[in-house]
């Protein structure tokens, strides 16, 4: 096993930060001569045989390295000297060891990795989504809540404000506004012939503190309190609300921004006991609570109104299906075949292939069958670019095509390609991401007008062909890791 001390760790971290992102040549060599453990630390050197370089001495000053002859190690040249990256684990691309038996980080040949911790200055991504976008597919939980833990007495016919909370509503989300179980007790003795009946409301305002005349979201009852039934009455209120800026404001849809909610109550009628109380048993049970909860991303209302005996309707559900590429071709600028495996776009300044483009095939018959009779609500494309001309990344140029059998296209089918329909700038090297391409393309998959995706040729935002290095990139094909995909969300 290898131990790398703090001295070398600093060099390793510097090397990783500066060069590993651009895929430098991390070389694997084997140990020719391991240091004698009896040697003074200041004199220790590791001799590694590197193909094309011969036997290279690597300084191991102040390092307790335990390696045996013929063991494989990863080394890299940092511009000044060869440094030890770590011992290569069987079946892996690279493993770095901090202490004997403790992995500093570990990357295998297919990109699976282990790190003690990760810190990102900008963003983290999961399956092509930023962590924020990934988490947005789930509920965000309680956004605001308030609680009163004592009785409120002397309530009567005048509607009375009890408890207020405020929450920020975000476009494209769903919310639930609700109360805890509220217990009401009469201060007198209502009777069956003269019951006390109450109204409980949640009101809302988006322009300051709400009052008893603000918009009413939900109302109870009126609920009776009578001696023959009970000396108390309980209820709870709740309402599911969308936040969709594309729709008009209503009790079922609040627009983005800050909303304040107010719990109120009043007596409708009944003289048997002129007042009543919100009863918490002096704070021992049933606290008075008002809660606002984010329950997830915006979801379509698929309810079907009924009358009479019901029946005769078909259930509507929302589905999201992902389709993986089945074939692809890449073409040179002159239209001739470049590759059956990788995807390429654009024209690099040092490339002899011209302004390249690629087409990607999917099982379009399956997609059409799935979407038959459906309403498409979202269409996304996944691509993994493992190379750009610039280390900082490039601009993906995404389009569509109408070819059912991509495998038979050995020259570029320009007439069947609709290029440059979606452009995504600042796409990094070795980065996969999902890109929304809109319901228009989703409906084209449904009708069969679109059967697959294309990338390239390099074009300006105005549509003119361009040989700018900004557009020169390569992406993973259908037979490689992280292949292209299409994901369609629909109701049916």
What do you get for the CA distance between the two ends of the chain, in Å? 58
- pLDDT at position 114 is 60
Which H or E element spans position 13? helix 6-19
Asked whether residue 426 is domain-assigned, the answer is yes
Residues 277 and 344 in one domain: no
**Tokens matching residue 193:** 């012939």
Degrees to nearest 5, angle at CA 134 with 132 and 140: 70
CATH code at position 417: 2.60.120
- pLDDT at position 187 is 76
Is pLDDT of 302 > 70? yes
Residues 337 and 426 in one domain: yes
pLDDT band at residue 398 under the 50/70/90 scheme: very high
Number of domains in the chain: 3
Mean pLDDT of 59-80: 68
Asked whether residue 134 is domain-assigned, the answer is no
Residues 213 and 72 in one domain: no
Asked whether residue 58 is domain-assigned, the answer is yes
Q: Report the chain's mean pLDDT, rounded to a whole number.
A: 83
Residues 454 and 338 in one domain: yes
The beta strand positions in 101-256, using DSSP E, are 102-108, 113-115, 125-126, 129-130, 141-148, 152-155, 160-169, 173-179, 182-186, 196-205, 215-219, 223-225, 233-235, 238-243
Asked whether residue 136 is domain-assigned, the answer is no
pLDDT band at residue 291 under the 50/70/90 scheme: very high
Q: What is the DSSP string of 392-435?
A: T-EEEEEEEE--S-GGG--B--GGGEEEEEEEEEEEPTTEEEEE
CATH code at position 245: 2.60.120.660
Q: Which domain holds residue 282?
A: 141-297
Asked whether residue 272 is domain-assigned, the answer is yes
pLDDT band at residue 3 under the 50/70/90 scheme: very low
Asked whether residue 291 is domain-assigned, the answer is yes
| More confidently predicted of 304 and 165 | 165
| More confidently predicted of 181 and 34 | 181
- pLDDT at position 185 is 82
- pLDDT at position 91 is 52
**How does pLDDT run across 197-215, given as a tens digit for each residue?**
788 999 999 999 999 999 9
Q: Provide the 8-state DSSP code for 192.
A: S
Residues 206 and 166 in one domain: yes
**Which of 341, 356, 395, 376 lies closest to 449, judged by CA?**
376
**How does pLDDT run across 322-337, given as a tens digit for each residue?**
999 999 999 999 999 9
**Tokens matching residue 154:** 């002397």
Report yes or no: 170 and 262 within 8 Å, Cβ to Cβ. no
pLDDT band at residue 21 under the 50/70/90 scheme: very low
Percentage above 90 pLDDT, the chain: 50
Asked whether residue 401 is domain-assigned, the answer is yes
DSSP H helical segments within 73-160, as ranges?
A: 131-135
Asked whether residue 342 is domain-assigned, the answer is yes
pLDDT band at residue 24 under the 50/70/90 scheme: very low
Residues 330 and 478 in one domain: yes
Report yes or no: 158 and 274 within 8 Å, Cβ to Cβ. no
Peptide bond into 457 cis (omega under 30): yes
Residues 157 and 273 in one domain: yes
Residues 388 and 482 in one domain: yes
- pLDDT at position 46 is 79
pLDDT band at residue 38 under the 50/70/90 scheme: low
Residues 94 and 60 in one domain: yes
| More confidently predicted of 77 and 487 | 487
Q: How far is residue 397 from each of residues 242, 268, 453, measured CA to CA in Å? A: 35, 65, 11
What does the H/E/C string look like for 46-95?
Answer: EEEEECCCEEEEEECCCCCCCCCCCCEEEEEECCCCEEEEEECCCCEEEE
**How does pLDDT run across 70-104, given as a tens digit for each residue?**
777 777 776 677 777 677 665 554 554 433 334 45
- pLDDT at position 260 is 97
Residues 290 and 394 in one domain: no
Residues 358 and 390 in one domain: yes
Residues 290 and 173 in one domain: yes
Choice among 104-113, 178-187, 338-347, 371-380 with the minimum mean pLDDT? 104-113
CATH code at position 74: 2.40.50
């Amino acid at each position: 096993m290898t131990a790398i001390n703090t001295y070398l760790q600093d060099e390793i971290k510097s090397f990783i930060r500066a060069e590993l992102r651009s895929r430098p040549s991390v070389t694997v060599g084997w140990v020719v001569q391991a240091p004698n453990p009896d040697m003074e630390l200041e004199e220790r050197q590791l001799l590694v045989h590197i193909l094309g370089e011969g036997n290279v001495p690597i300084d191991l000053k102040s390092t307790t390295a335990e390696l045996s002859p013929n063991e494989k190690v990863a080394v890299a040249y940092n511009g000044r000297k060869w440094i030890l990256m770590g011992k290569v684990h069987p079946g892996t691309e690279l493993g770095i060891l901090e202490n004997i038996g403790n992995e500093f980080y570990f990357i295998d040949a297919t990109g699976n990795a282990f790190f003690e911790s990760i810190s990102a200055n900008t963003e983290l991504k999961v399956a092509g989504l930023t962590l924020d976008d990934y988490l947005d597919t789930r509920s965000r939980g309680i956004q605001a809540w308030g609680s009163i833990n004592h009785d409120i007495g002397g309530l009567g016919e005048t509607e009375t404000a009890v408890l207020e909370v405020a929450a920020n509503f975000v476009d494209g989300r769903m919310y639930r506004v609700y109360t805890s179980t509220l217990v009401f007790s009469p201060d007198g003795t209502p009777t069956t012939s003269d019951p006390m009946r109450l109204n409980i409301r949640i009101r809302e305002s988006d322009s300051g503190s709400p009052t008893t005349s603000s918009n009413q979201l939900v109302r109870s009852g009126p609920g009776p309190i009578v001696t023959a039934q009970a000396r108390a009455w309980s209820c709870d209120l709740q309402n599911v609300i969308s936040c969709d800026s594309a729709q008009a404001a209503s009790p079922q849809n609040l627009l983005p921004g800050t909303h304040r909610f107010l719990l109120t109550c009043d007596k409708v009628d009944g003289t048997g006991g002129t007042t009543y109380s919100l009863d918490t048993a002096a704070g021992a049970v049933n606290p008075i609570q008002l809660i606002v909860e984010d329950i997830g991303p915006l979801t379509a209302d698929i309810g079907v109104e009924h009358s009479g005996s019901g029946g005769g309707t078909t259930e509507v559900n929302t589905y999201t299906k992902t389709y993986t590429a089945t074939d692809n071709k890449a073409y040179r600028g002159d239209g001739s075949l470049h590759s059956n495996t990788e995807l390429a776009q654009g024209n690099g300044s040092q490339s002899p292939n011209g302004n390249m483009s690629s087409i990607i095939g999917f099982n379009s018959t399956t997609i059409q069958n799935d979407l038959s009779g459906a309403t498409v609500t979202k269409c996304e494309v996944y691509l993994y670019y493992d190379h750009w001309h610039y280390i900082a990344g490039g601009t993906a140029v995404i389009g569509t095509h109408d070819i059912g059998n991509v495998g038979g296209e050995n020259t570029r089918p320009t007439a069947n390609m609709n290029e440059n329909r979606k452009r995504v700038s600042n796409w990094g090297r070795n980065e996969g991401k999902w890109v929304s391409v809109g319901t228009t393309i989703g409906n084209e998959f449904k009708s069969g007008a679109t059967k697959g995706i294309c990338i390239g040729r390099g074009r300006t935002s105005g549509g003119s062909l361009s040989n700018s290095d900004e557009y020169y990139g390569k992406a993973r094909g259908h037979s490689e890791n992280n292949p292209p995909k299409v994901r369609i969300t629909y109701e049916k």
